[in-house]
Structure formats: C-alpha cells, structure tokens
Amino acid sequence: MINQSSNNPRTVFRRGADDGFLMGIFLSVLFIALVNSIYSAIATAATVAMALAVPFLTFFFLRRSYRSDNCRSTFSALWLHGICIFFFGSLLMALTSYVYLRFINPSYITDVLRMAKEVYSAVGTDDAMEMVALMQKIEDSHMLPTGGQVAVEIIWTGVFTGSLLSMVVSAIVRAVTRPTPPPPPSNLQQF
C-alpha cells in the first residue's frame, strides 16, 4: 500500500486523492458538457467522447500507480486506489453540479422536464401521452430533484460505477503491465 520506490511514501488513499482531484476536474468538465448538450451538438459530442475516455483515464492512473510500486501492488490495493479516485472525483463533480443547479441555472431540471413533455406530446401516441401526464404530475407535485439531491446521487453513482470499473481495470492493469527495466549501468568507470 505504500510506494517504496520514492523518498516520500504515499498511501493508496493519498494517491487516490491526488488522482481523484484530476479525475474530478475531468468529470466536472464532463458535467458542464452534459448540461450544455441540450443546447449544442458540439457539447453532445464532447460528452460522449469524454464519457468514453473515463476507462482509459482510469487505466492510466492505475497503471502509473502499479508501475511506481514496481508492479508489486495487489489487486485489492489497485482496486481500492480506483475506488478512491472515483470517490474524490465524484465529490468534485457533485460540488460542480450543486453550484450549477443551485446558483447558475436553477431552472435547468424544470426546463429539461418541459422539453421532454414537448417531445412526447409531439409523438402523440397513447403511451407518449401517458408519459406527458406522468411528467406533468411530477412537476405539479414538486417532486423534481434539487441541486443537493442531484449532487448526492452523483456521489453514489460515481462511487458505485467507479468501483465496478476499477475492479475490471485493476485486473487488466495487473495482466498487461510489466515492470520498467532499470537503466543500464553507465560505462564511465575509469581505470
């Protein structure tokens, strides 16, 4: 659990916090792209690309950690590192979502619900009209989630899905990563 190869030992939790901060910045930008995707096709493409990049970013962090331990980390240590990455990253993403939904665009959730009602109304089938009635009932009874509730959901979802992703990626990292060979000895010996 401790990096033996450097003078400054770092626990799995410290690595997870450091990498989680970087992941949190990435996830926060992903959230901003996601909420703007209803207004822009470029934001939609960015959201899809960033979402697909998350497993690769996780692989990069876990592989770097595994190599820094000279490929001696256990599966459970790598998995815990990944869980920590997603826990701390989700905290930052949740904070971003809370600030956005509470202060920057508090009507966002209501606007999305109204857009969905318009789309289902345009379809006009019985099932679609049933869905419109259900959404209207949700809006009338003030059952829409608040910014705080969305933030809590982001944390729970991020940690759960991140844990599953980290489990798979940890196994892949251990299977495909070999230690980096030491540098060759220098031939500067004088006779």
Q: Residue range 4-32: average pLDDT?
A: 86
**Residue 2: predicted pLDDT:** 43
Regarding pTM above 0.85, the answer is yes
What's the number of domains the chain is made of? 1
Q: 111 in a domain, yes or no? A: no
In a domain, 191, yes or no: no
**Alpha-carbon separation of residue 49 from 9, 34, 42 (angstroms):** 35, 11, 11
Q: How many CA atoms lie within 13 A of 142 on its CB side?
A: 0
Whether residue 129 lies inside any domain: the answer is no
Q: Say if 124 falls within a structural domain.
A: no
Q: pLDDT band at 9, cuts 50/70/90?
A: low
Segment 140-190, tens digit of pLDDT? 999 999 999 999 999 999 999 999 999 999 999 999 998 877 777 777 655
Share of the chain above pLDDT 90, in %: 86
In a domain, residue 189? The reply is: no
Q: Which domain holds residue 101?
A: 12-105+145-176
Q: What is the pLDDT at residue 3?
A: 44
Query: Nearest to residue 38, comparing CAs of 107, 93, 94?
Result: 107
Of all residues in the chain, what percent carry a pLDDT higher than 70?
93
Q: Is residue 53 part of a domain?
A: yes
At 183, list the tokens.
Answer: 């540098």
Please report, to the nearest 10 degrees, the dihedral formed by the alpha carbons of residues 38, 39, 42, 48 taken in order: -10
What pLDDT, on the 0 to 100 scale, is given for residue 190? 55
On whether residue 151 sits in a domain, the answer given is yes
Task: Give the chain as a 3 state SS string.
Answer: CCCCCCCCCCCHHHHHHHHHHHHHHHHHHHHHHHHHCCCCHHHHHHHHHHHHHHHHHHHHHHHHHHHHCCCCCCHHHHHHHHHHHHHHHHHHHHHHHHHHHHHHCCCHHHHHHHHHHHHHHHHCCHHHHHHHHHHHHHHHCCCCCCHHHHHHHHHHHHHHHHHHHHHHHHHHHHHHCCCCCCCCCCCCCCC
